[in-house]
Each structure stands twice: as C-alpha cells, then as structure tokens.
Amino acid sequence: MSSGTFYIHTFGCQMNVHDSEQMGQLLCDEGYVRVDEAAGADIIIINTCSVREKAAQKAYSELGRLKRFKRRNPDLIMGVAGCLAQELGNGFFRKAPYLDFVLGTHNLHRLARIVGSVRDRRSRVADTSFHQPVRSLGIRTLPSGGRISAFVTIMQGCNNFCSYCIVPYVRGREESRQSIDILDEIGFLAENGIREVTLLGQNVNSYGSGLSEGIDFPALLRMINGTEGIERIRFTTSHPKDLSDDLAACFAGLDKVCEHIHLPVQAGSDYVLKKMKRGYTVGEYLKKVGMVRDACPEISITSDIIVGFPGEKEHDFQKTIDLMEEVRFDNTFSFRYCDRSGTASEGYDEKVAEEIKRERLSLIQSLQERHTFEKNRTMEGRVEDVLVEGFSKGSSVDVTGRTRGNKIVNLTGDETLAGKTVRVKIVRAHMHSLRGEML
Ligand code: SF4
C-alpha cells in the first residue's frame, strides 16, 4: 500500500540531480510514490544549489511559489536539501517558517527517518552535520523512466578552496568511495539495463587520495572498463591541475571511455587565475589541452568560464577571448561572477560593475555560439556511433541520442532503438544538436 506521494524539485548540477534520484529512491523504498506535480503531493522537497546566486534565488522563489500548498494542507511535509540547506541550516526556518525539515549534503541517508519523525511528532528538524565517511554516497539508485544512462558518485567534496567557491564549505572535504563499492554499484546498474555511466565528483582527477587501496582515477577507469554490459563511461568534473598523462591516455586506450572532457578553465588571464587560486597558469592549461588532443585528436572539450572576477580588467578579459580562440571549445558554460558568502573572494576589492559583467558575458556567449556551430558543421558527413536514449522531446517519430563526444543527435526512429548504439550519418548541423540518418 502506498504511504503517500512525493515531489522533488532540483536546482543545480548533475551531483544535485543524482542526490535527488537518491532521495527519491529512499522514499520509494518507504512506499511513497513519485509525482511530477507539487499540487496534491504529501511531501515536497526542494533540492537547492548555492554555488551561484542565481540558483539560490531560483530556489527561494520556488519555495515562495509552493508555500501555498502548505497553507491549504497543514499535513503536507515540506523540506529543503542540498547546498543552500547546508549553508543556512536552522537559519532556513527563519527565511521560510513553513518548512518542516532542512537536510544537509551529508545526511541524505537519513531522509526517511526525518520524514517519519516530522510526520509522527510534527516537529521541525534541521540535520546538517558532516560525517566521515559520507554514508549517503552509497545509496543505490536506478534512474526512473527506463533511462539507459546513470550517475555514479565516486567522490564528493573538495580540498581546493578556489577563492570564489562555496563547495568545500557546503559539501565538505574530499572523500573517495572504495573502488569495490563503485564497481559493485556499476555492476548492479548494468544488470538492470544501464548502458552508460557518468562518474561524478567535484574533482574526479584526484579520486583515490586519502584511500589506502592505492587506486587512482585512471586505475579506476581501467577497472570499470571491464564491466560487462556497460558500453560508455563518462565523468565530470576534471580539475586541470590534476589531469595526468595517464588519464589522457585513457581516452585512447580504453574503448568505453568516451571522447569528451569537461575541463573548467574559468579565466584566460594568469593574474585572474592566481586570484581565483586555481593552481595553474594559462600556459599550463594549454599544455593539458595539448596533452589530451595528442592522445585523442577527436576529443570534445568543454569548459566553464567566469567573467567579471574582482580585479578583472579589460585586458584580462581579452585574454579569456584569446584563450577561447586558441582552444576552440566544443561548448562552455559561462557565468557572471557573484560573491558567495564566506568565500575568500567575497572580501576582494575592485569588484566589476554589473553592466560590464553583462557585456563581457554576452561577448563570451556569442563567441562560443560561433565556435560551437563551426565545430558542429565539421561533423556533417561523418559517421558516428549514437547511443539512443528515447524519443526526442515532444516527438513520436524522432529519437534522440548522443555521440561519444557528447553531441546530441536527432534521427527518425522508434522506441525499439532506445538503449541501442546505431551507426548514424550526420546530415545537418544546428547550434545545439545534429541531425542524423541511421545507416
Ligand atoms: S575545484 Fe575549486 S571550483 Fe571546483 S569544487 Fe573545488 S573549490 Fe570549487
């Protein structure tokens, strides 16, 4: 018998998406049923992100939108999870007094117990303590909706303390999972129809440090590459300073490791990179790009860029443009710098005016659109292996999938193709996707 229904709204990165999947699994195990609408749900959870101001603001406005359900139904259980929950803790109850629980990033495994105690005693709970090891990392989850691709967390937290970043404060220090647990989870996913895994961590390249088993990230990839049933392995995020020759060689030497790397550069000026405490220079970053391209010339490279970091002058910004012209990323995710509470850069002076940040962001994004489209155009006429995920959004005649380089391809097909890898000729390039024909 169903215990009730739950609705989870997720903001932020893939790590948060996976956390939401894990929370959903825990509630399903307790007999709750997932629903796609907040209206009428018995439990509503907002999984928040505080890495950027915009994501935090969106979470607040979603909470504001949903609080009417609590007014209408006092038995509704409403909670927040994720980085913003971790950051504010009990303080969230002052901002949103209608909340029943605040769940920190290390405490997802306690969700069912917290929901139970709220339901039975109707008392509010804030649980944001840090734990070592992080037990929630091992919550085994099958993605919903018959998906063929799954996330697997291999480590979480970060020891780098980039000056602008709140992650080490809200996710804690770096912690890697034992390789045996990761392999066990991936084996379980493969047995249940998953064909592609994306390994998650704030800095997967430093996987294994702190573990006694002596297995680093390339060694872990080699082990996962042997898992029967898994066709593709992806991972994110890679810190450039920890990208080794050995890892670059994995793109060429391991057949299941897909030819795509997300390698955040953040800025093209050494002065700004130093203030960001990124731990590399532009020259060193370019060497790493050369290293992966030497190992695997066809590799797709994507990146993150922040514009308007405190002290970024026009000539610093120009260097970011120069770097983009030199590397020609397949895609970038670019953002305006904003202060995050408690970070080092919050105290930096020479803040850049919002108007200038907006102008710089617009320039970066137009340049990237040009590069992305040019890159996509070079793929016309090529034949690619496409792992089909299912119907394209809103279509019953087109299916969608991805190339090994992580480009989206739409082609004519039906649901029998889902989960299959097909040979596809790319016939037309668009800005955000490719059109293909199955051979
Ligand atoms: S490497 Fe830097 S930007 Fe990335 S999570 Fe760690 S502190 Fe944040």
The minimum-distance atom of ligand 1 relative to the CA of 171 is 5
The minimum-distance atom of ligand 1 relative to the CA of 161 is 7
Alpha-carbon span 76 to 94, nearest angstrom? 19
Q: Are 148 and 174 in contact (CB under 8 A)?
A: no
**Angle between helix 314-327 and 282-295 (nearest 10):** 10
Residue 264 Cα to ligand 1 midpoint, Å, equals 10
Residue 436 Cα to ligand 1 midpoint, Å, equals 37
pLDDT of amino acid 324: 98
Distance of CA 173 to the CA centre of its chain: 18
The minimum-distance atom of ligand 1 relative to the CA of 239 is 1
The minimum-distance atom of ligand 1 relative to the CA of 165 is 8
Residue 315 Cα to ligand 1 midpoint, Å, equals 25
Burial of 363 (0-12, 13-18, 19+ CB in 10 A): middle
pLDDT of amino acid 141: 87
Q: Which residue has the tokens 């042997």?
A: 226
Question: Which residue has a Cα nearest atom 2 of ligand 1?
Answer: 162
pLDDT of amino acid 13: 84
309-332: pLDDT as tens digits? 999 999 999 999 999 999 999 999
Question: Which residue has a Cα nearest atom 8 of ligand 1?
Answer: 165
Cβ < 6 Å from ligand 1: which residues?
158, 160-162, 165, 167-168, 202-203, 239
The minimum-distance atom of ligand 1 relative to the CA of 166 is 8
- Angle formed at CA 374 by CA 373 and CA 375, multiple of 5 degrees: 90
pLDDT of amino acid 173: 92
**Angle between helix 111-121 and 14-29 (nearest 10):** 60
Q: How much is the mean pLDDT over the chain?
A: 94
Residue 77 Cα to ligand 1 midpoint, Å, equals 33
Using a pLDDT cut of 90, give the percent of the chain over it.
85
pTM: 0.93
- Please choose from 105, 165, 262, 346 the residue to mutate so as to test ligand 1's pocket, defined by most ligand atoms within 8 A of CB: 165
The minimum-distance atom of ligand 1 relative to the CA of 203 is 1
Residue 141 Cα to ligand 1 midpoint, Å, equals 26
Q: Which residue has the tokens 């804030």?
A: 126
Residue 121 Cα to ligand 1 midpoint, Å, equals 39
- Angle formed at CA 368 by CA 152 and CA 17, multiple of 5 degrees: 20
Residue 81 Cα to ligand 1 midpoint, Å, equals 20
Residue 162 Cα to ligand 1 midpoint, Å, equals 5
The minimum-distance atom of ligand 1 relative to the CA of 266 is 3
Residue 386 Cα to ligand 1 midpoint, Å, equals 32
Question: Which residue has a Cα nearest atom 4 of ligand 1?
Answer: 202
383-418: pLDDT as tens digits? 999 999 999 888 888 999 999 999 999 999 998 999
User: What Cα–Cα distance (Å) separates residue 206 from each residue in 36, 81, 211, 266, 331?
Assistant: 37, 26, 11, 19, 24
Q: Which residue has the tokens 């093209």?
A: 268
Residue 161 Cα to ligand 1 midpoint, Å, equals 6
- Please choose from 167, 173, 200, 337 the residue to mutate so as to test ligand 1's pocket, defined by most ligand atoms within 8 A of CB: 167
Does the pLDDT value for residue 18 go beyond 70? Answer: yes
48-81: pLDDT as tens digits? 988 888 888 899 999 999 999 988 998 999 999 9
115-172: pLDDT as tens digits? 999 998 878 999 999 887 777 777 888 887 778 999 999 999 999 999 999 999 999 9
Alpha-carbon span 20 to 427, nearest angstrom? 37
Question: Which residue has a Cα nearest atom 1 of ligand 1?
Answer: 160
pLDDT of amino acid 396: 83
Count, residues in the chain: 439
333-384: pLDDT as tens digits? 999 999 999 999 999 999 999 999 999 999 999 999 999 999 999 999 999 9
List CB contacts of 262: < 8 A, sequence separation 6 or more.
236, 237, 238, 302, 303, 304
Does the pLDDT value for residue 1 go beyond 90? Answer: no
Residue 157 Cα to ligand 1 midpoint, Å, equals 9
